Chains A and B, each alone.
Chain A
Amino acid sequence: GAVVSQHPSWVICKSGTSVKIECRSLDFQATTMFWYRQFPKQSLMLMATSNEGSKATYEQGVEKDKFLINHASLTLSTLTVTSAHPEDSSFYICSASGLGYNEQFFGPGTRLTVL
Protein backbone atom coordinates (compact mmCIF):
# COMPACT_ATOMS: atom_id res chain seq x y z
CA GLY A 1 0.00 0.00 0.00
CA ALA A 2 0.89 3.67 -0.18
CA VAL A 3 3.30 4.79 2.53
CA VAL A 4 3.65 8.29 3.93
CA SER A 5 6.36 9.21 6.38
CA GLN A 6 6.73 12.21 8.64
CA HIS A 7 9.76 13.65 10.34
CA PRO A 8 10.35 14.29 13.15
CA SER A 9 7.93 12.13 15.12
CA TRP A 10 8.18 14.51 18.04
CA VAL A 11 9.85 17.85 18.72
CA ILE A 12 10.20 20.14 21.71
CA CYS A 13 11.12 23.75 21.10
CA LYS A 14 11.29 27.05 22.91
CA SER A 15 8.67 29.72 22.44
CA GLY A 16 9.56 32.05 19.58
CA THR A 17 11.52 29.54 17.55
CA SER A 18 10.50 27.94 14.24
CA VAL A 19 9.98 24.26 13.61
CA LYS A 20 9.90 22.43 10.27
CA ILE A 21 8.00 19.19 9.76
CA GLU A 22 8.53 17.05 6.67
CA CYS A 23 5.99 14.82 4.99
CA ARG A 24 7.08 12.35 2.32
CA SER A 25 5.22 9.94 0.10
CA LEU A 26 7.59 7.00 -0.22
CA ASP A 27 6.13 4.90 -3.01
CA PHE A 28 3.83 7.13 -5.03
CA GLN A 29 3.65 10.62 -6.43
CA ALA A 30 1.45 12.79 -4.27
CA THR A 31 -0.20 15.44 -6.36
CA THR A 32 -1.95 16.78 -3.28
CA MET A 33 -0.88 16.85 0.34
CA PHE A 34 -2.91 17.91 3.33
CA TRP A 35 -1.90 19.17 6.76
CA TYR A 36 -4.06 18.57 9.82
CA ARG A 37 -3.80 19.59 13.45
CA GLN A 38 -5.26 17.51 16.24
CA PHE A 39 -5.55 18.72 19.83
CA PRO A 40 -5.95 16.13 22.62
CA LYS A 41 -9.29 14.33 22.52
CA GLN A 42 -10.39 16.32 19.49
CA SER A 43 -10.88 15.61 15.82
CA LEU A 44 -8.51 16.26 12.95
CA MET A 45 -8.84 19.81 11.71
CA LEU A 46 -7.69 20.50 8.18
CA MET A 47 -5.20 23.36 8.10
CA ALA A 48 -4.28 23.55 4.45
CA THR A 49 -4.18 21.77 1.13
CA SER A 50 -1.11 21.92 -1.06
CA ASN A 51 -0.58 20.92 -4.65
CA GLU A 52 2.87 20.36 -6.06
CA GLY A 53 4.35 23.53 -7.47
CA SER A 54 1.60 25.89 -6.35
CA LYS A 55 0.71 27.87 -3.26
CA ALA A 56 -1.14 26.14 -0.47
CA THR A 57 -4.82 26.79 0.17
CA TYR A 58 -5.43 27.53 3.82
CA GLU A 59 -8.62 26.85 5.73
CA GLN A 60 -10.45 29.72 7.34
CA GLY A 61 -8.82 30.80 10.56
CA VAL A 62 -5.40 29.33 9.80
CA GLU A 63 -2.66 31.98 9.60
CA LYS A 64 -0.72 31.40 6.42
CA ASP A 65 2.19 33.55 7.60
CA LYS A 66 2.53 31.45 10.72
CA PHE A 67 2.13 28.03 9.13
CA LEU A 68 4.29 28.03 6.02
CA ILE A 69 3.68 25.17 3.64
CA ASN A 70 5.92 24.20 0.78
CA HIS A 71 5.19 21.40 -1.70
CA ALA A 72 8.22 21.57 -3.94
CA SER A 73 8.08 18.05 -5.31
CA LEU A 74 5.61 15.23 -5.82
CA THR A 75 7.03 13.38 -2.82
CA LEU A 76 7.74 16.09 -0.28
CA SER A 77 5.77 18.73 1.56
CA THR A 78 6.96 20.73 4.53
CA LEU A 79 5.13 22.62 7.25
CA THR A 80 7.04 25.30 9.12
CA VAL A 81 5.55 26.65 12.32
CA THR A 82 7.07 30.09 12.68
CA SER A 83 7.50 31.88 16.00
CA ALA A 84 5.92 28.97 17.82
CA HIS A 85 3.99 29.56 21.02
CA PRO A 86 2.69 27.13 23.65
CA GLU A 87 -0.79 27.23 22.10
CA ASP A 88 0.72 25.76 18.91
CA SER A 89 1.53 22.59 20.81
CA SER A 90 -0.43 19.86 19.06
CA PHE A 91 -0.28 16.69 17.00
CA TYR A 92 0.36 17.60 13.35
CA ILE A 93 -0.55 14.98 10.74
CA CYS A 94 -0.02 15.10 7.01
CA SER A 95 -1.72 13.05 4.36
CA ALA A 96 -1.18 12.55 0.67
CA SER A 97 -3.35 11.66 -2.26
CA GLY A 98 -2.64 11.13 -5.91
CA LEU A 99 -3.54 7.59 -6.83
CA GLY A 100 -6.54 8.59 -8.85
CA TYR A 101 -9.27 8.54 -6.23
CA ASN A 102 -10.27 10.28 -3.04
CA GLU A 103 -8.35 8.13 -0.56
CA GLN A 104 -5.78 9.92 1.55
CA PHE A 105 -2.79 8.17 3.06
CA PHE A 106 -1.77 9.50 6.44
CA GLY A 107 1.66 10.04 7.92
CA PRO A 108 2.38 8.90 11.48
CA GLY A 109 2.12 12.42 12.87
CA THR A 110 4.44 14.82 14.65
CA ARG A 111 3.90 15.81 18.24
CA LEU A 112 5.00 19.40 18.77
CA THR A 113 5.52 20.75 22.28
CA VAL A 114 6.36 24.43 22.65
CA LEU A 115 7.78 25.42 26.03
Chain B
Amino acid sequence: GENVEQHPSTLSVQEGDSAVIKCTYSDSASNYFPWYKQELGKRPQLIIDIRSNVGEKKDQRIAVTLNKTAKHFSLHITETQPEDSAVYFCAASSGTDKLIFGTGTRLQVFP
Protein backbone atom coordinates (compact mmCIF):
# COMPACT_ATOMS: atom_id res chain seq x y z
CA GLY B 1 0.00 0.00 0.00
CA GLU B 2 0.87 3.67 -0.09
CA ASN B 3 3.49 5.00 2.31
CA VAL B 4 4.16 8.72 2.80
CA GLU B 5 7.28 10.03 4.48
CA GLN B 6 7.57 13.63 5.67
CA HIS B 7 10.55 15.73 6.72
CA PRO B 8 11.49 17.50 8.87
CA SER B 9 9.50 16.54 11.96
CA THR B 10 10.11 19.98 13.48
CA LEU B 11 11.02 23.27 11.86
CA SER B 12 11.76 26.57 13.54
CA VAL B 13 12.08 29.77 11.51
CA GLN B 14 12.25 33.47 12.15
CA GLU B 15 9.25 35.55 11.15
CA GLY B 16 9.60 36.60 7.54
CA ASP B 17 11.78 33.65 6.55
CA SER B 18 10.64 30.83 4.28
CA ALA B 19 9.75 27.31 5.36
CA VAL B 20 9.94 24.18 3.25
CA ILE B 21 8.46 20.80 4.11
CA LYS B 22 9.10 17.75 1.95
CA CYS B 23 7.21 14.51 1.41
CA THR B 24 7.84 11.37 -0.59
CA TYR B 25 5.31 8.75 -1.58
CA SER B 26 5.63 5.18 -2.71
CA ASP B 27 2.61 4.46 -4.91
CA SER B 28 3.15 5.72 -8.46
CA ALA B 29 -0.62 5.58 -8.98
CA SER B 30 -1.16 8.39 -6.46
CA ASN B 31 -2.64 11.40 -8.21
CA TYR B 32 -3.83 13.79 -5.51
CA PHE B 33 -1.59 15.48 -2.93
CA PRO B 34 -3.18 17.77 -0.34
CA TRP B 35 -1.50 19.67 2.49
CA TYR B 36 -3.23 20.27 5.80
CA LYS B 37 -2.61 22.62 8.70
CA GLN B 38 -3.72 21.40 12.10
CA GLU B 39 -3.83 23.46 15.24
CA LEU B 40 -3.91 21.77 18.63
CA GLY B 41 -7.20 19.97 19.23
CA LYS B 42 -8.68 21.11 15.93
CA ARG B 43 -9.56 19.45 12.64
CA PRO B 44 -7.05 19.42 9.77
CA GLN B 45 -7.59 22.34 7.41
CA LEU B 46 -6.81 22.01 3.74
CA ILE B 47 -4.39 24.77 2.78
CA ILE B 48 -3.42 23.74 -0.73
CA ASP B 49 -3.55 20.69 -2.95
CA ILE B 50 -2.10 19.56 -6.26
CA ARG B 51 -3.01 16.90 -8.76
CA SER B 52 -0.61 14.77 -10.74
CA ASN B 53 -1.18 16.62 -14.01
CA VAL B 54 0.30 19.81 -12.53
CA GLY B 55 3.88 20.47 -11.44
CA GLU B 56 3.37 23.54 -9.29
CA LYS B 57 0.57 25.47 -7.69
CA LYS B 58 0.64 28.73 -5.76
CA ASP B 59 -1.81 30.51 -3.50
CA GLN B 60 -0.48 33.78 -2.09
CA ARG B 61 2.32 32.85 0.36
CA ILE B 62 1.87 29.11 -0.08
CA ALA B 63 3.09 26.96 -2.95
CA VAL B 64 3.34 23.26 -3.63
CA THR B 65 5.60 21.53 -6.12
CA LEU B 66 5.30 17.97 -7.39
CA ASN B 67 7.95 15.79 -8.99
CA LYS B 68 6.18 12.67 -10.24
CA THR B 69 9.37 11.03 -11.47
CA ALA B 70 11.01 11.25 -8.08
CA LYS B 71 7.70 10.75 -6.28
CA HIS B 72 8.08 13.70 -4.00
CA PHE B 73 6.22 16.92 -3.32
CA SER B 74 6.99 19.94 -1.21
CA LEU B 75 5.20 22.75 0.60
CA HIS B 76 6.75 26.21 0.51
CA ILE B 77 5.61 28.98 2.82
CA THR B 78 7.13 32.40 2.22
CA GLU B 79 7.15 35.44 4.53
CA THR B 80 6.20 33.29 7.49
CA GLN B 81 4.13 34.79 10.28
CA PRO B 82 3.62 33.65 13.88
CA GLU B 83 0.09 32.52 13.00
CA ASP B 84 1.61 30.00 10.58
CA SER B 85 2.80 28.06 13.62
CA ALA B 86 1.01 24.70 13.61
CA VAL B 87 1.47 21.09 12.59
CA TYR B 88 1.45 20.52 8.84
CA PHE B 89 0.59 17.19 7.21
CA CYS B 90 1.04 16.07 3.65
CA ALA B 91 -1.10 13.30 2.22
CA ALA B 92 -1.41 11.23 -0.93
CA SER B 93 -4.36 9.57 -2.61
CA SER B 94 -4.43 7.11 -5.45
CA GLY B 95 -7.91 7.66 -6.75
CA THR B 96 -9.69 5.42 -4.27
CA ASP B 97 -10.25 8.62 -2.31
CA LYS B 98 -8.33 7.09 0.57
CA LEU B 99 -5.80 9.55 1.99
CA ILE B 100 -2.55 8.37 3.50
CA PHE B 101 -0.98 11.01 5.73
CA GLY B 102 2.63 11.85 6.36
CA THR B 103 3.99 11.94 9.89
CA GLY B 104 3.61 15.69 10.30
CA THR B 105 5.88 18.70 10.72
CA ARG B 106 5.65 21.01 13.70
CA LEU B 107 6.39 24.51 12.42
CA GLN B 108 7.28 27.24 14.88
CA VAL B 109 7.62 30.80 13.65
CA PHE B 110 9.38 33.08 16.11
CA PRO B 111 8.60 36.80 16.08
Chain A residues in the interface with B (C-beta under 8 A)? 32, 34, 42-46, 49, 91, 93, 95, 97, 101-104, 106-109, 111
Contacts and interface: CB of A to CB of B under 8 A. Distances in A.
Given A42-B103, A46-B100, A106-B45, 11 more contacts: A34-B99, A43-B102, A49-B97, A91-B41, A93-B43, A93-B44, A102-B31, A102-B32, A106-B44, A107-B43, A108-B43
Nearest to B49: A103
Contacts of A104: 97, 99
8 contacts: A43-B101, A46-B100, A93-B44, A102-B34, A102-B51, A103-B49, A109-B42, A109-B43
Interface in B5-35: 31-32, 34
B91 to A, nearest CB: 8
Contacts of A103: 34, 46, 49
Interface residues of B, number: 23
Given A44-B44, A108-B42, A109-B43, A49 B34 contact: no
A43 B89 contact: yes
Nearest to B4: A43
A20 B65 CA distance: 40
A77 to B, nearest CB: 14
Interface in B42-74: 42-46, 49, 51
A49 B43 contact: no
A79 to B, nearest CB: 16
A43 B104 contact: yes
B93 interface: yes
Nearest to A1: B46
Given A93-B43, A108-B42, A43 B99 contact: no
A101 B93 CA distance: 11
